[in-house]
Amino acid sequence: MAESGEAPRTVILTVDDDPGVSRAVARDLRRRYGGSHRVVRAETASAALEALQEMKLRGDLVAVIVADYRMPQMNGIEFLERAMDVFPGARRVLLTAYADTGAAIDAINLVDLDHYLLKPWDPPEEKLYPVVDDLLDSWLASDHRPVPETKVVGHRWSAHSSEVREFLARNQVPYRWYPSDEPEGQRLLAAAGEDGLRLPLVITADGRVLVEPDARELAGRVGLATAPSADFYDLIVVGGGPAGLGAAVYGASEGLRTVLVERTATGGQAGQSSRIENYLGFPDGVSGAQLTDRARRQAARFGAEMLTAREVVGLEVNGPSRTVRFADGSAIAAHTVILATGVTYRQLDAPGVAGLTGRGIFYGAALTEAAGCAGKDVHIVGGANSAGQAAVYLAKGARSVTILVRAADLTRSMSHYLVQQIAELPSVTVRARTEVARAHGSDHLERLTLRDTVTGATEEVDAQWLFVFIGAAPLTGWLEGVVVRDERGFVVAGPDLAPGGEPPKGWPLDRVPYHLETSVPGVFVAGDARSESAKRVASAVGEGAMAVMLVHRYLERL
């Protein structure tokens, strides 16, 4: 622990299952960097992961991770991929024998490997220190440079506290959670002059105190951009899910002045996924947070501007410009707009659910709540991939996981690989033809009434945790009367607007709409918000990229 007023030392972690090699690597690293960094060594991948988790909880910062490739149970590449979930900004080095260089080269793409070192690394002055020096310089210059933590004080079963934690986590803002009824939480409340009746309390890294903040206030105080830098752009992307991020990356990289507007956090539903295993190029899977963070940083590197906690409420056509209006009355305009608003989970329509949302009942993965499920019985409503991914993830710590589905089984709506994984997990049970009839509890969820959809018979079960993944409701209500939508609210585009080859009613141009173009020229749609879309991460990213190609075609004819 650093003394008061002294910045804590950042960490260099090394892991190797050979004790002799492990000691030698740590010795050489301490000799050069021990005065400015804390060198931590581990002799197994699992011990190293435990150390990383502990450092994350303490608020330590890990700058460089050096991992041996040939380790039992978990090789170095697998370990580094797991480590990225904990410290995505840490620079990654693989220690290999000469015969393993092929694997090291493959790892450059798999885990964004920064460097690989051959054994032996003697003399370190020539082969080790220059590499680590460059990595430390790169880390210090990145978005992951050392910053003080944000502190959140709240009640465990407070819906607003849960929303704040989820907002910070999904926006990659480091924070530490302090329950309001524990000593440290009480000390922080006292220091802020609060009695705990208004929660959550947020103390930002620069010491500002926020009481019951809304998303926009919180975003502005923790360093997220909420205000546009200009009034007019080439391209406005509405929505920061896979389709929106794909559009932002390709738009900015191809020279378009691009701004992405997101109401909550980039990533969308995919960003909340604990593990995506069928995304091209990631044979071992990738977490939604990991994929989102990479895409966000990539878009920013190309110059895309990203606004967070800004709710879009209107779209207007003003001659050649397209104006997007925000809830606060302000607006920005552009030549073109890509609608990538995605979908949201439908609300569970059962008595008692609304009052307990955020207090034991959560929509989506709510990964910030997963730690609280350890050793507990968890229920999941839904039979699609998102529900399956959550079940597999939560089963690692929960005593039991019960999936509730109205269908006869999971095969109609869930990918085969996930059905197989669930079947192999002894702690996971699937209750078919079952629905939630009622939720019970005072300040948090305590019990559920379940109903058999065939016989109508009901059963009451103890439950403290319920995660809901049902249906997909498009976030397009604000487009009513502006663009054509289908009966479910999804945006109609391209050939579906002109099934007979004729342009849609009111179409002002002498051509039919482009493939992803809506009923308003220059306004395109990509991803889950599009009518009849595939509802898959890869297709959403592809449509985001394709929409940018069509934006260029549109701009060429202005």
Which residue do the tokens 């994984």 mark? 421
Name the residue type at position 490: F
Distance of alpha carbon 272 from alpha carbon 457, whole angstroms: 34
Distance of alpha carbon 242 from alpha carbon 438, whole angstroms: 34
pLDDT in tens, 352-404: 999 999 999 999 866 778 888 989 999 999 999 999 999 999 998 899 999 99
Distance of alpha carbon 50 from alpha carbon 54, whole angstroms: 6
Q: Pull the structure tokens for residue 358.
A: 């955020």
The answer to whether the peptide bond before residue 174 is cis (omega within 30 degrees of 0) is: no
- Residue bearing the bigger pLDDT, 2 or 521: 521
- For the segment 521-544, the average pLDDT, to the nearest whole number, is 95
Do residues 436 and 449 make contact, with C-beta atoms less than 8 angstroms apart?
yes
- For the segment 94-121, the average pLDDT, to the nearest whole number, is 70
Do residues 209 and 298 make contact, with C-beta atoms less than 8 angstroms apart?
no
- Residue bearing the bigger pLDDT, 191 or 467: 467
Distances from the Cα of 14 to the Cα of 3, 33, 84, 275, 364, angstroms: 25, 13, 14, 26, 35
Sheet arrangement for strand 447-452: 434-440, 447-452, 458-462
pLDDT in tens, 313-351: 999 999 999 999 999 999 999 999 999 999 998 999 999
pTM (predicted TM-score) = 0.76
- For the segment 11-16, the average pLDDT, to the nearest whole number, is 96
Which residue do the tokens 């395109």 mark? 524
- For the segment 100-124, the average pLDDT, to the nearest whole number, is 71
Distances from the Cα of 150 to the Cα of 59, 118, 188, 266, angstroms: 10, 39, 12, 20
The per-residue pLDDT for 6 is: 43
Residue 435 has pLDDT above 50, yes or no: yes
Distance of alpha carbon 172 from alpha carbon 287, whole angstroms: 13
Q: Pull the structure tokens for residue 442.
A: 């005072």
In terms of Cα–Cα distance, which of 533, 342, 383 is closest to 470? Answer: 383
- SS (HEC) of 109-147: HHCCCCEEEECCCCCHHHHCHHHHHHHHHHHHCCCCCCC
Taking each helix axis from N to C end, the angle separating 76-86 and 101-110, rounded to the nearest 10 degrees, works out to: 20
In terms of Cα–Cα distance, which of 51, 229, 61 is closest to 148? Answer: 61
Comparing 1-10, 83-92, 165-174, 207-216, the range with the smallest average pLDDT is 1-10
Do residues 12 and 41 make contact, with C-beta atoms less than 8 angstroms apart?
no
In terms of Cα–Cα distance, which of 215, 257, 268 is closest to 529? Answer: 268
Share of the chain residues as helix, strand and coil, in percent rounded to the nearest 5: 35, 25, 40
Within 8 A by CB and 6+ apart from 493, the residues are 513, 515, 516, 517, 518, 524, 525, 530, 531
Residue 5 has pLDDT above 50, yes or no: no
The per-residue pLDDT for 101 is: 57
Q: Counting Cβ atoms within 10 Å, is residue 6 exposed (0-12), middle (13-18) or buried (19+)? A: exposed
pLDDT in tens, 114-153: 888 888 888 999 989 999 999 999 898 876 654 567 999 9
Taking each helix axis from N to C end, the angle separating 537-556 and 242-253, rounded to the nearest 10 degrees, works out to: 40
The per-residue pLDDT for 105 is: 59
The per-residue pLDDT for 248 is: 98
Q: Report the greatest alpha carbon distance in the chain.
A: 76
Distance of alpha carbon 286 from alpha carbon 166, whole angstroms: 19
Q: Which residues of 265-293 are buried (b: 16+ CB within 10 A; e: fewer)?
A: bbbbbbbbbbbbbebeebeebbbbbbbbb
Distance of alpha carbon 506 from alpha carbon 46, whole angstroms: 62
Do residues 414 and 387 make contact, with C-beta atoms less than 8 angstroms apart?
yes
The answer to whether the peptide bond before residue 351 is cis (omega within 30 degrees of 0) is: no
